[in-house]
Chain A
Amino acid sequence: MKKILPFILCLCLLALSGCSDRVELQDLAIITAAAIDRLEDGKTRISIQIFIPRSITSGQSGEDPSLGSTFVREGIGDNLANAVSMLQINVPRKLFWGQCKIYIFGNKQAKSGIRDAIDFLARHPSPRGTSFLYVSEGEAKQILTLVPPLERYSGEALRKLTVDERGLITTLRDVDMGLMGESESVSMPYIKTLVSKEKGRKPHETIPVINGTAIFKKDRMVGVLNLKDTRGLLWLKDDVRRSTISIKPKGEDGAITLTPTLGEMKVSPQIKDGRWMMNVSIDIEGDIVQNETHLNLMNVEVMMKLTKEYEAALKERVTQTIEKLQQEFKTDVIDFGRRFHQKYPKEWRKVSGKWDEKFPEIEVKFTVNAKVRRPGYIGPPAALPRDEVKN
């Protein structure tokens, strides 16, 4: 008996305590994306996109492809927590938040403040800290109902767009930290529904695309940067992955287009005689992807000139963005505040409460150091008689 007793006790451990939190996949409603909107009456509505596993069973597919493999359910409540608790009522399976990597805020919600929602998402154990946050043009729920022609559901399309393509990545943790940090501001990708011009496709058979950057001051959205300024912002955040820059050399009709390959940005704050300055130096390399001019790129002098123009173009771009941030939004989404705090903690203490007043006054100096490494497979312009090539 003495020998069997521990064995029985171990068995009890498995039989009694185990299995209690076991959930089969068949009993889970996998949430792929969530949208948070503010309604007219001030209530919060959360909409979730739930994946239908039956829809992609191989072989027998009787489903209408235009219906997509997801459906949307919503819950309404005084705040996000209440709204989420209302969700479960309309879904027969247990809601599973573990794989939800997309949270979209509606325009109205973003303008009226997102702090409460962020608190819920960060406090709740299920949402991931690495999930992506977006602000949508108009109602966020609309984004969830889209049926992408290529991906399985719109959440996946959005995630792939963010990870693989140009654009800003803002995670839940970034927002939490950004709002807590020195600048008390944060930026999020601003998305809209892509209008498909294809005939025969229904209007909802399209995907959400990134159309700029929403700028948050404190927890409220104060404005939107357009795509071009977003590119500048990415330069400032040292986060450029894919982009092109076109320059027009003097005396030429066409433009030369480059794509940056390697880039390094250094930011060094400086306080001199009470003037707050920020020195931003960008080291960049680029490849030429298109040459519309008649210039021969194999010529060293042409290349030198080109490099200068390339630097100037880049400088103009970032200057434009920083001016917009400083003058129009007065919002430090590029975290200059933290840099000053790190280097000049004493001086920082004086301005810490009124950084949004100080930020527009900062002088930002750009030094761009560009190199054009590869003119591509061909040197002189293609499809042009030799005598028309300018050296």
Chain B
Amino acid sequence: MVIRIRRGPSRKTTKAQKAPKQASQDIPLTQKIEENIEFFSSLYQESSDVIFRSFVVGEKDACIIYIDGLSDTQKLDQQVLETLLDKTEFDESDFLLSVKNKLPISNIKNISTYSACIDSIGNGSPILLFDGYEEALSLGLVKYEKRSIEEPQAETAIRGPREGFTESLGVNISLLRRIIKDPALKMKTILVGKYTKTKVVISYIEGLADNTLIEEIERRLQTINIDGVLESGYIEQFIEDDPYSPFPQVLYTERPDVVSANLLEGRAILMIEGTPFSLIAPVSFFSLFQSQEDYYERFWIGTFIRVLRFLFLAISLFLPSVYVAITTFHQEMVPPDLLISIASAREGIPFPAIVEALLMEIAFEALREAGIRLPKQVGSAVSIVGALVIGQAAVQAGIVGAPMIIVVSITGIASFMVPRYSIGLAIRLLRFPIIILGGTLGLIGVMLALIILIIHLSSLKSFGLPYLSPVSTVEKNSLKDTLIRAPLWKMNHRPQLTGEYKAVRQGPNLKPGRNKGGE
């Protein structure tokens, strides 16, 4: 199935297109059931999974329309049909109300337009039509197969909840509601996708999240006019501030605890039907280096691992290019013993260092990609063959120097240090132009790349939040949670995001101590 995403049209044409479409579907139901059934059967022509069940209640013709597999047929049979077909008397004066009162279903709604009926059927709620009424009943009997709650595979943690989001939006919302019980947790639903009509839920905590931020997210979501939304990535790419940047400006996660933490910091969450990944906005560069476990473990460990992550960020971005630059331009910089070791290892290598580096990096990326694509049983074999055998053979054959293998392996491992996969992808991608710069202009090239990167990062924004905040904006309180992770009892303020916010998040003087209990 190929989904074509329309990028072209500007906002004006979007509105123009929307207006007539809505008008055609907002036709109210007619009193005659035949006409209504006629309409729906022509709409669902050649759709064998749409079930029309006509029957008679009292003396009135009635019809249930639903899609097989989306609705709970067992309940439909036992609770709806059995009640209606039973010789129960219904109040003729207010027939619909009496039917509603007889049916043992909690989520039951009156709907009166064709479009509402279509939405209801599409969502899995059967509709019940009666002859002589301009209203139909939508029965909340949605039931479809879904995955059970499992531990997220891509975001594992030693310490922390083992629950992960699933593809079902209802389950995801319930997971969130189970963590944050306050009614201030709001869920706004917006439908995106002309054909998929995917529910996108904007979730935020009222009073903590900036109102203008929520408005802006809503506005951006409403301008999306595409065929379908299959993953959160579709939404992400349509609401970003800088679409050409390699850096993610919206974070994704499949952990309810991560989502809750971000909600409590005043951010907004987008939950998308059909995917376990929720989007977090706004984010800064430094939130990409925060892992939930930083907060669950003691702050010393959290801080140490943070520092390590930034160190390895630098390594994974610059190590191959610095190696190439130094061995081809600045041999004086290497201590003599090391230079001699490198020179011996590189003796007889037919390629220049830059070609060697590109060759190995590309091979490494290919191995990694192949490792994901291959079936699990074969995947491990490929990684072992790739890493050990090819590397060893290449060194022995004198095609690649051993130091380059070391550099590439360290770099490869380093890019996994970042807890958010999306930034790891950006780093992997950026490594190649930096290697080329380092191989052509030497360390000047590497510095050039660094400067360009910093300029680019400082110019980025995520929903109005400067990407390098709080470091670039020098927010004293927010700095406690960037390079270091201050003790929880010291982080009394929420990070400064956009607009108005409630700064204080916890009571003062929470530092525990020996005397605390006895006082």
List the interface of chain A (C-beta within 8 A of B).
Answer: 14-15, 17-19, 21-26, 28, 30, 32, 51, 53-57, 96, 98-99, 101, 128, 152, 156
Given known pairs A21-B329, A96-B331, A99-B331, the reply for A26 and B336 (CB within 8 Å) is no
Question: What are 12 residue pairs bridging A and B, where the CB atoms are less than 8 Å apart in the complex?
Answer: A14-B436, A18-B445, A19-B440, A23-B329, A24-B352, A25-B346, A28-B331, A28-B343, A30-B343, A53-B346, A56-B340, A98-B332
With A25-B346, A98-B332 as contacts: A30 and B339 at CB distance below 8 Å: yes
**Assembly CA distance A273 to B342 (angstroms):** 64
Query: Is B328 interfacial (CB-CB < 8 Å)?
Result: yes
Chain A residues with CB under 8 A of B347: 26, 53-54, 57
Task: Indicate whether B349 reaches chain A with its CB closer than 8 angstroms.
Answer: yes
Is the CB of B160 closer than 8 A to any CB of chain A?
Answer: no
Residue of A nearest to B437 (CB): A14
Q: Which residues from 397 to 447 on chain B have a C-beta closer than 8 Å to any C-beta of chain A? A: 436-437, 439-442, 445
A24 touches B353 (CB 8 A): yes
Q: Collect the chain B residues with CB atoms within 8 Å of residue A19's CB.
A: 439-440
- Report if B104 contacts A (CB, 8 A): no
Residue of A nearest to B402 (CB): A58
Q: Which residues of A contact B331 (CB under 8 A)?
A: 23, 25, 28, 30, 96, 98-99
Chain B: minimal CB distance from A133 (Å): 17
Pick the residue among A22, A53, A98, A101 that contacts B328 (CB under 8 A): A22
Chain B residue nearest to A51 in the complex (CB): B340
Contact between chains at B348 and A26 (CB < 8 Å): yes
A32 and B442 CA atoms in complex are apart in Å by 24
Q: What per-residue 1/0 map shows which CB atoms of B312-332 lie under 8 Å from chain A?
A: 000000000000000111011
CB contact under 8 A between A26 and B332, given known A14-B436, A14-B437, A18-B440? no
Shortest distance in angstroms between B27's beta carbon and chain A's nearest beta carbon? 48
Q: Does B222 lie at the interface of the complex (its beta carbon under 8 Å from any beta carbon of A)?
A: no
Interface class of chain A by DSSP: mixed
Best-surrounded residue of A15, A53, A54, A101 (most CB of chain B within 10 A): A53
A57 contacts B344, CB within 8 Å?
yes
CB <8 Å contact, B348 and A54: yes
- With an 8 Å Cβ cutoff, the count of chain B residues facing the other chain is 28
In the complex, what's the smallest C-beta–C-beta distance from A171 to chain B, in angstroms?
15
| Proximity bits, B344-360, A CB within 8 Å = 1, else 0 | 11111100110000000
Whether A99 touches B436, Cβ cut-off 8 Å, given contacts A53-B347, A54-B348, is no
Main secondary structure of the interface of B (DSSP, over half): helix
- Assembly CA distance A362 to B334 (angstroms): 47
8 Å CB contacts to A: which residues of B149-176?
none
**Nearest chain A CB to B337 CB, angstrom units:** 8
Kindly state the separation between the CA atoms of A25 and B356 in the bound complex, as whole angstroms.
Answer: 13
Q: How far apart are the CA atoms of A18 and B334 in the complex, in Å?
A: 21
Minimum CB–CB distance for A196 against chain B, Å = 24
By beta carbon, the residue of chain A nearest B436 is A14
Residue of B336, B344, B439, B442 near A53 (CB, 8 A) is B344
Specify which chain A residues have a CB less than 8 angstroms from the CB of B340 in the assembled complex: 30, 51, 53, 56, 152
B397 to chain A, nearest CB (A): 13
Residues of B within 8 A of A30 (CB): 331, 339-340, 343
Known: A22-B352, A24-B328. A14 touches B440 (CB 8 A): yes
* Cα–Cα distance between A57 and B403 once the two chains are bound (Å): 13
- Which residues in B have their C-beta under 8 angstroms from that of A128? 332
Residues from chain B with a CB closer than 8 A to the CB of A24 are 327-328, 346, 352-353
**Inter-chain contact A25/B343, CB cutoff 8 Å:** yes
Verify B349–A99 contact, CB threshold 8 A: no
- The answer, among B332, B352, B437, B445, for a CB contact under 8 Å with A99, is B332
16 further A-B pairs in the complex, CB-CB below 8 A; given A14-B436, A25-B353, A56-B341 = A15-B440, A22-B439, A24-B327, A24-B353, A25-B346, A26-B346, A26-B347, A26-B349, A53-B344, A53-B347, A54-B344, A54-B348, A56-B340, A98-B332, A99-B332, A152-B340
**Taking A14-B440, A18-B445, A19-B440 as contacts, is the C-beta distance between A101 and B336 under 8 angstroms?**
yes
List which B199-226 residues lie within 8 A (CB) of chain A.
none
Q: List the 10 shortest-distance A-B pairs measured between CB atoms, nearest first.
A: A18-B440, A98-B332, A53-B347, A53-B343, A53-B344, A14-B440, A99-B336, A56-B344, A18-B441, A25-B346
Q: Which residue of chain B is the closest to A20 with respect to CB atoms?
A: B440
A101 / chain B contacts, CB cutoff of 8 Å: 336
**A22: contacting residue among B329, B337, B342, CB under 8 A:** B329
Interchain CA distance A15-B345 in the complex, whole Å:
28
Tell me whether A99 and B348 are in contact in the complex, defined as CB-CB below 8 angstroms, given that A18-B441, A24-B328 are known contacts.
no
Question: Residue on A with the closest CB to B337?
Answer: A156
CA distance A156 to B336 in the complex (A): 9
A21 contacts across to B, CB distance below 8 A: 329
CB neighbours (8 Å) of A14 from chain B are: 436-437, 440-441, 445
Residue on A nearest B341 in the bound complex, by CB = A56
Alpha-carbon gap, A273 to B255, bound state (A): 89
Could you tell me the distance in whole angstroms from the C-beta of B246 to the nearest C-beta in chain A? 16
A99 to B339, CA, bound (A): 9
What separation, in Å, do the CA atoms of A23 and B326 have in the docked complex?
10
Q: Which residues of B contact A32 (CB under 8 A)?
A: 336
Interface core residue of B342, B437, B441, B445 (most chain A CB under 10 Å)? B441
How many angstroms between the C-alpha atoms of A32 and B348 in the bound complex?
20
B404 → A minimal CB distance (Å): 11
Chain B residues with CB under 8 A of A18: 440-441, 445
Q: Which residues of B contact A22 (CB under 8 A)?
A: 328-329, 352, 439-440, 442
Most central of A26, A28, A51 by chain B CB within 10 Å: A26
How far is it, in angstroms, between the C-alpha of A206 and the C-alpha of B425 when the chains are bound?
55
**Alpha-carbon distance between A101 and B341 when the two chains are bound, in angstroms:** 17
Report the minimum CB–CB distance from A297 to chain B (whole Å).
Answer: 43
Docked CA distance A23–B436 (Å): 15
**Nearest residue in A to B347 (C-beta to C-beta)?**
A53
In chain A, what residue has the closest Cβ to B440? A18
Which of A14, A25, A128, A156 is the most central at the interface, judged by chain B CB atoms within 10 Å of its CB? Answer: A25
The answer for the CA separation of A68 and B233 in the assembled complex, in Å, is 62
Contacts of A15 in B (CB 8 A): 440
* Shortest Cβ gap from B393 to chain A (Å): 14
**Smallest CB gap from A126: residue in B:** B332
Contact of A23 among B328, B334, B337 (CB under 8 A): B328
Assembled-state Cα–Cα distance A128/B333 (Å): 11
When chains A and B are docked, how far (Å) is the Cα of A51 from the Cα of B445?
A: 30
A54 partner residues in chain B, CB cutoff 8 A: 344, 347-348
Of B340, B346, B436, most A-chain CB atoms within 10 Å? B340
A contact residues around B334 at 8 Å (CB): 99
Kindly provide the distance from the CB of A61 to the nearest chain B CB, expressed in whole angstroms: 11
Q: Nearest residue in B to A128 (C-beta to C-beta)? A: B332
Q: How long is the Cα–Cα vector from A128 to B332 in the complex, in angstroms?
A: 9
Contacts of A51 in B (CB 8 A): 340, 343
